[in-house]
Structure 1
Amino acid sequence: MILSWRRRRAGRRANKNSVNDDIDGTEMEITIPTHFRCPISLDLMKDPVTLSTGITYDRDSIEKWIESGNQTCPVTNQVLSSFDEIPNHTIRRMIQDWCVENGSRGVERIPTPRIPVAPRQVLEVCERIGMATRRGDGVKCQELVGKIKAWGKDSERNKRCMAENGTGYSLCATFEAFSSSSSTEKHVSLLEQIVSVLPWMFPLGVEGQALLGSSSSLNCIVGLLRGKDLSARQNSVLVLKELLSLDQRFVNSLAEIEGGLEALVGIIKEPICPSATKAALTSIFYMISQSKTCEKTRLRLVEMGLVSLLLDNIVDGEKGVCERALGVFDEICNCKEGREKAYENALTMPLLVKKILRISQTSSEFLVSVLWKLCKNEKRNDEGSVLVEALQLGAFQKLLVLLQVGCDERIKEKVTELLKLFNLHRGRLDCSDSSMDFKYLKRPF
């Protein structure tokens, strides 16, 4: 097997006056020894491991092979009696020595791989966390959670291994125990440490969900959301979003917690990062579409000024943020108060019409739904109505294009109804736009 390594500029490694260093940009052909190559990828092994059949592979390649459902050795085709991957230190040292020997020709030394965490180690740490929790030893718990966090930072494989071996339940049990204790403030750093790790552990088991969704745990998460630590706020909203997606009863519980809605709106009002904003919008969407008190929740959100915040995010937000903001806006427009706030904002109609076909298919469907609700429920039919404004902004043409490119049947019905409403005013309005060239169709959706 031949691998091409581009030779580095001689001046970077040696004296510029050295001879034979004037061949910049040439490629040096270096033969990789066969036993240094992974039989699956045929690339130089970075972390060689040996299976029960005695064949050595690169860890990443053989793990992907096994995770795909294969139970045989790729080379011998023998059924694996064990899936244990034993590090082959001898081959690894030989590969590293070979890299060093060829360093002058541009071959970089392969770093010593970190040994992945084993299920046995995970179970041991979980047991120790449980014992420390029962003793009320927050310091020891924080030390052990820090170890879990360090393992997770090493690799995605470690995260999967921990999630599959009960770490999520152990963390939820510890979080619930210390959030319901009388000295919660004393253990804030531990609770913040746990929520920084919990996003790796979803979906949790039934017992873990019950612990994290308890009244004390939810109140604690809301408390962290309202805190000053930006990292804790970000991690908390990510955990909350995952939890609400699991069961509607958690949505109902959160709706009853004082300050929960304000905390979520605060994440949108003072954004930390796109992922936190998306998580907050998703959580709000669950609360206004699934909770028992969704109508009351919508009204509260309108009073908090959410409509203006949503429009701001639709203007400046990335694709994911825009889609979620439009989803929430669509739900807000189900109530009269939400529509009234939308009518009052001068940005509403120009933004809705402009964004059709410009973000994604999902966004366009939300935009049509919002436009349909605003136009159909408005009682004014004079020259200043939103229906006339949308028509003058070119909504008629964009909806025709949307029908041509295709959309969901439910949305198609709304588009058809909107076109009929617009058609009533087209005869007496100059609503054509000769400059419209539909450049927005080039955007992916």
Structure 2
Amino acid sequence: MGRDDETETYITVPSFFKCPISLDVMTSPVSLCTGVTYDRASIQRWLDGGNNTCPATMQLLNTHDFVPNLTLQRLIHIWSHSLGSRYPRGGDGSPSVELVPTKEEINQSLKRLMSFEKDDIEEILTKIVRFVKDSDSNREFLAARKMDFIPMLVDIIRSKKMELALMAIKILDTIKPDREMLSNLMLANNDDDGGDCLPTILLAIRRGNLQSKIESVRVLDRISYDAKSKLLVAERDGVLTEMIKSISVTESDPSLIEACLSFLITISKSKRVRSKLIAARTITKIKDILMTTTETLSTSVSVTEKSLKLLETLSSKREGRAEICGDDNGRCVEGVVNKLLKVSTTATEHAVTILWCLCYVFREDKKAEEAVERSNGVTKLLVVIQSNCSGMVRQMAKDLIKVLKIHSSSALSAYETKTTHIMPF
């Protein structure tokens, strides 16, 4: 209920206009897969906090995708306009509900921006941020402007004016323009404008807030388009250092860890980069993720899947396999075995591939086999053979069981007595 100070009357806000989390009137209503509608900013904060449930129903979410509730948004707009001056306002006198700009208004704002009327550039970028967050249609509308709008955003980032650069990064992360075009623009070394955009992106990762860091990492991932760009980004001073620091379980948020892992997976396709990642002790950080007891991180399916995928990639090199087996009695291998059948089919397939590489293909260190046996890995591999994993992964599991030299009768006996309790996906 809102109060009008001039008339001493109260305005009742319809309950379905309020976000179930903030209890404020929604500015950008979006619906989850459970059908419940929230204000976009509120539900994004909830998910960024590592939660994987619908706040209203506590149902597990199959996807974190949003669907803009345009009908409800129009109703809120009609309602707020009908109140006119009686609508409750914020402390600064501005309306509590910020209307999403129309495409015509955005076009006018861009004309002002491109005609060098840049005194109000921050206001224009704020309006664009509100516009692109509202719908896929709006994002596609601006992503299609390859000849003017995208280069303008890149120039703003290159200018190193941090507040404006962060907004430009946010817009690029939201609209997801063509990767090749964006990579060419951002990595072009324009000496007149201070070089490429990587120094600003790196500064945003170091000094920005959590959301800015995540957006900056995702933009880095997007511009790592081909072999040349991946190597150029990976070998820039400070990039790998910041990424590895950001996947520390003691310092980072799960959403940031996930974004950094995605980026590291993207650039690790280069053998040279894989060697750099191994030398920088990335595997130690992955081991910490796999062995963590932090609830928000250990329950993150995506973080676990990406950790195992990156570890699988690094296990392709001899020094990577040596680091996985390690001098700590194979704890990293134990972490891999512990994720078998407990997270998802994808995670299980990555885990089996890692073990197959260590224990069947190369067999360079007996500590790997000992760690698998010690972690009751054979029993779990027997279950993998009967699971819905791919045929190739099931064959890998069979190869592993043969190599581990465990009598099938004793292994099956352990399985049949149900001494191992395996959580469902």
User: What whole-Å deviation, never above 9, does each CA across 1:185-242 have from its counterpart, x for those lacking one?
Assistant: xx12211221123221114476445323435023431232233654432221122233
1:415 aligned residue (384, 392, 397): 397
> Which amino acid is the alignment partner of residue 119 of structure 1?
K
SS in 2 for 1:257: coil
* Displacement after TM superposition at 1:403 (Å): 1.1
2:363 — aligned with what? Answer: 378
Q: Bigger radius of gyration, 1 or 2?
A: 1
Percent of aligned pairs with the same amino acid:
18
1:161 — aligned with what? Answer: 138
> Which amino acid is the alignment partner of residue 165 of structure 2?
L
Map residues 224-373 of structure 1 onto 2, 5 A cutoff: 224-227=204-207, 229-244=209-224, 247-269=226-248, 271-289=251-269, 294-316=270-292, 317=297, 318-344=300-326, 345-346=328-329, 347-373=331-357
1:173 — aligned with what? Answer: 151
User: What whole-Å deviation, never above 9, does each CA across 1:386-439 have from its counterpart, x for those lacking one?
Assistant: 2133124322221111111221122123112112212x3549999974774453
Q: Distance in 1 between matches of 2:364 and 2:183?
A: 46
Q: Distance in 1 between matches of 2:334 and 2:246?
A: 26
User: Is the CA contact (8 Å cut-off) linking 1:302 and 1:337 kept in structure 2?
Assistant: yes
* Displacement after TM superposition at 1:253 (Å): 2.6
> Which amino acid is the alignment partner of residue 310 of structure 1?
I
**Structure 2 residue 176 is matched with structure 1 residue 202:** yes
User: Is the CA contact (8 Å cut-off) linking 2:101 and 2:130 kept in structure 1?
Assistant: no
User: What whole-Å deviation, never above 9, does each CA across 1:133-176 have from its counterpart, x for those lacking one?
Assistant: xx8x5x543332122224456xx23x641441358755542343
Q: Distance in 1 between matches of 2:232 and 2:245?
A: 19
SS in 2 for 1:117: coil
User: What whole-Å deviation, never above 9, does each CA across 1:95-132 have from its counterpart, x for those lacking one?
Assistant: xxxxxxxxxxxxxxxx9976542211122222323333
SS in 2 for 1:242: helix
- The size of the alignment, in residue pairs, is 329
SS in 1 for 2:341: coil
**Structure 2 residue 195 is matched with structure 1 residue 218:** no
* Displacement after TM superposition at 1:353 (Å): 1.7
Q: Distance in 2 between matches of 1:350 and 1:399?
A: 14
Q: Distance in 1 between matches of 2:223 and 2:341?
A: 32
TM-score after normalising by structure 1: 0.64
* Displacement after TM superposition at 1:277 (Å): 1.1
User: Is the CA contact (8 Å cut-off) linking 1:126 and 1:166 kept in structure 2?
Assistant: no
Q: 1:168 to 1:198 in 2, by over 3 A?
A: farther
* Displacement after TM superposition at 1:310 (Å): 0.5
TM-score after normalising by structure 2: 0.67
Q: Distance in 1 between matches of 2:278 and 2:208?
A: 25
User: Is the CA contact (8 Å cut-off) linking 2:205 and 2:213 kept in structure 1?
Assistant: yes
1:129 — aligned with what? Answer: 113
Q: Distance in 1 between matches of 2:144 and 2:164?
A: 16
> Which amino acid is the alignment partner of residue 266 of structure 1?
K
| Structure 1: stretches of 5+ with no match in the other structure | 1-58, 64-84, 95-110
| Structure 2: stretches of 5+ with no match in the other structure | 1-68, 84-94, 190-195
